[in-house]
Structure 1
Amino acid sequence: MSRSHLRTVRDHIRWAVSQFHREGLFFGHGTENAWDDARQLVLGALHLPWEVADAYLDCRLEEDEIEHLRDLLRRRIEERIPTAYLVGEAMFCGLPFLVDERVLVPRSPIAELIAEQFQPWLPKQPARILDLCTGSGCIGIACAYAFEQAEVVLADISFEALEVANQNIERHGLEERVYTVQGDGYDGLPGQRFDLIVSNPPYVDAEDFAGMPAEYQHEPALGLACGDDGLDLVRRLLAQAADHLSEHGVLVIEVGNSQVHVEALYPEVDFTWLDFEQGGHGVFLLAASQCREHQALFKTRLRP
């Protein structure tokens, strides 16, 4: 990277795009192409907002800023570290979240459901919401913005992930109605019921996990892989859902490419598979009545 030619913000974004293409980087952690990834990295490293005025792009950088960018761009290319980890922040539902390698990078299509307040499936405003397998807390915290009167519980098995989630709760000033619970699945929530349970659990099957791009190796495996068919945890979440939903509650779970395994495992169940205008797939919805109706079936499909 030549000191004499790369001087402005725009220079560094352009150079990064070219290098990202040349090196064959993967884009799937909040961005979908080299331009957005480069822009996120350069602007984030310089503490500039995504919607920065165009005039800023032609500002010349100080030498220490150029050195900092040089290091981050090198790490993105050579080590395949996702950009969100390099800048320590990711956007979800238009909100900023602190992220590092203790949690997955936020990218769930569930963001679109939150923006629409889960309509038309929620019969009324939820009083209690559970974000199960919360990671950074992005889904639950975004739900707290969407439903301003709701109490929101962020649950995860990982103490390290919950440290990040608690930082995000504090960052967004939601300590009075959003809190974390540690536990495996519903284990930390005995007797508790919710009007809305949302979960983006680990669901990657063994075949997909083995073939994932290098960028995913920086994310916690605990948040990605979950057995041969990816459903080891999803089986348990379904089997116990009826015990934690209110009478007219709703369950939403993302399973991505493991949708085919869900449909094969539970052919008797009429899952509602949701469509997304902004991309994404493999998210199903069940009403509490369906969870109660099929609870015995769900329990028979648990792994021994």
Structure 2
Amino acid sequence: MQPTVKEVIAQFKAELAEIYSIHEAFQFVWLLFEHLHGWSKTDLMLHDHTKLTVSDHLFVQKALERLKNHEPIQYIIGKTEFYGLPFNVNSSVLVPRPETEELVEWILHSIDPNKPLKILDIGTGSGCIAISLAKNLPQAKVTAWDISEEALQTAARNAGHNQVELNFEQKNILTTNPSENNRFDIIVSNPPYVMNSEKEQMHNNVLDYEPHLALFVEDDDALLFYRKITEFAAESLSSGGMLFFEINRAFGEATKKLVESYGFRNTELRKDLSGNHRMIKAYKR
């Protein structure tokens, strides 16, 4: 006999209790049924006595086992939402974070939306930053780089789903030189900034499943990507152009000084909603 939705909710709360809160367990069940049937949270409660089909029960039980192994729910259902837009995600890309939405919001509030800007997103991953900007800035020409071919394929699919056109290129910023023929008005990046020594502080759902290439940097050169990108931006931004970074909260002032050492002005550190220094904006002289 198949369980009811109510029984599944109770099972998730009980079996995930050592890892997740009751609220998170309920959220997982809702996301699974939203994925299966498009249900809202209200729909989930209205169907609490509905018995699952055999196929739904099998899917939900497999999802529960994967959650017990700390796998992110976004990878299990293969999608997430970012800045009000749908994105496919998989193990080749990071799961987009709320603080990155704050970075997108800051960029949009910093520019003239009707100006035909040229924007470069370095280390695009799922494409969440680049695609969100392109969707909200129809006059802009957006280019997105990543070292990972698999990430670029995911980002390109996401661009298609969201009906925006971007220029995707496979590039390694550590070995890419500026071009005099390619100037940008905005360069934005959420590069690898978690030090290897910070791994032990991270949750298993991140450490065991998300791509380390997009997360970690060596302890002895924690600002490697910021230095390379700032150096590139100093040559590739148009006069008055803007550089935006998401940053490691432990290196806010150090990153600010680094950016300023390359001649950038009006450098601003901004905190995220949790009160951590999480992003920087600077202008090219």
Matched, 1:19 2:15: yes
Question: What corresponds to 1:132 in structure 2?
Answer: 122
Kept in 2: contact 1:131–1:154 (CA 8 A): yes
Structure 1 position 210, deviation (Å)? 3.7
Question: What corresponds to 2:236 in structure 1?
Answer: 244
Structure 1 position 205, deviation (Å)? 1.0
Distance 1:134 1:188, change over 3 A: farther
Structure 1 position 172, deviation (Å)? 1.7
Matched, 1:103 2:93: yes
Partner amino acid, structure 1, of 2:85: L
Matched, 1:273 2:269: yes
Distance 1:153 1:185, change over 3 A: same
Structure 1 position 134, deviation (Å)? 0.2
Kept in 2: contact 1:252–1:283 (CA 8 A): yes
> Which has the higher mean CA deviation after the structures are superposed, 97-106 or 54-63?
54-63
Q: C-alpha offsets along residues 210-245 of structure 1, whole Å, 9 cap, x if unaligned?
A: 432211121111000011153221111112211121
Matched, 1:171 2:168: no
Q: Distance in 2 between matches of 1:213 and 1:184?
A: 28
Structure 1 position 49, deviation (Å)? 5.0
Partner amino acid, structure 2, of 1:158: S
Matched, 1:7 2:4: yes
Q: Distance in 1 between matches of 2:103 and 2:192?
A: 19
Q: C-alpha offsets along residues 126-153 of structure 1, whole Å, 9 cap, x if unaligned?
A: 5211111000111100111111111111
Distance 1:263 1:170, change over 3 A: closer
Q: What is the SS of the residue equivalent to 1:60? A: coil
Q: Distance in 1 between matches of 2:239 and 2:154?
A: 32
- Aligned pair count? 274
Matched, 1:143 2:133: yes
What is the identity percentage for the equivalent residue pairs of Structure 1 and Structure 2?
A: 29
Structure 1 position 173, deviation (Å)? 2.1
Q: Distance in 1 between matches of 2:150 and 2:126?
A: 10
TM-score, normalised on structure 2? 0.84
Question: What corresponds to 2:173 in structure 1?
Answer: 185
Q: Where in structure 2 are the equivalents of 1:142-291 lying within 5 Å? A: 142-174=132-164, 177-185=165-173, 187=176, 190-191=179-180, 192-216=182-206, 217-228=208-219, 230-260=222-252, 262-263=254-255, 266=258, 271-277=267-273, 281-289=277-285
The structure where strand makes up a greater share of residues is 2
Distance 1:128 1:163, change over 3 A: same
Q: Distance in 2 between matches of 1:50 and 1:246?
A: 46
Q: Distance in 1 between matches of 2:273 and 2:72?
A: 25
Kept in 2: contact 1:123–1:248 (CA 8 A): no
Kept in 2: contact 1:126–1:196 (CA 8 A): no
Distance 1:116 1:223, change over 3 A: closer
Q: C-alpha offsets along residues 45-75 of structure 1, whole Å, 9 cap, x if unaligned?
A: x142556645654343212101110111111
TM-score, normalised on structure 1? 0.79
Q: What is the SS of the residue equivalent to 2:120? A: strand
Partner amino acid, structure 1, of 2:54: E
Question: 5+ residue gaps in structure 2?
Answer: none
Q: C-alpha offsets along residues 58-102 of structure 1, whole Å, 9 cap, x if unaligned?
A: 34321210111011111111x211110000001100111111001
Q: Where in structure 2 are the equivalents of 1:17-56 lying within 5 Å? A: 17-20=13-16, 22-25=17-20, 33-44=24-35, 46-48=36-38, 50=40, 53=43
Q: Distance in 2 between matches of 1:238 and 1:258?
A: 19
Q: Distance in 2 between matches of 1:236 and 1:64?
A: 50
Partner amino acid, structure 2, of 1:259: F
Q: Cα RMSD between the aligned structures? A: 2.9
Structure 1 position 33, deviation (Å)? 4.0
Partner amino acid, structure 1, of 2:153: E
The structure where helix makes up a greater share of residues is 2
Q: C-alpha offsets along residues 148-187 of structure 1, whole Å, 9 cap, x if unaligned?
A: 111111110111111111111122222xx31201111272
Distance 1:55 1:149, change over 3 A: same
Structure 1 position 117, deviation (Å)? 5.0
Distance 1:102 1:144, change over 3 A: same
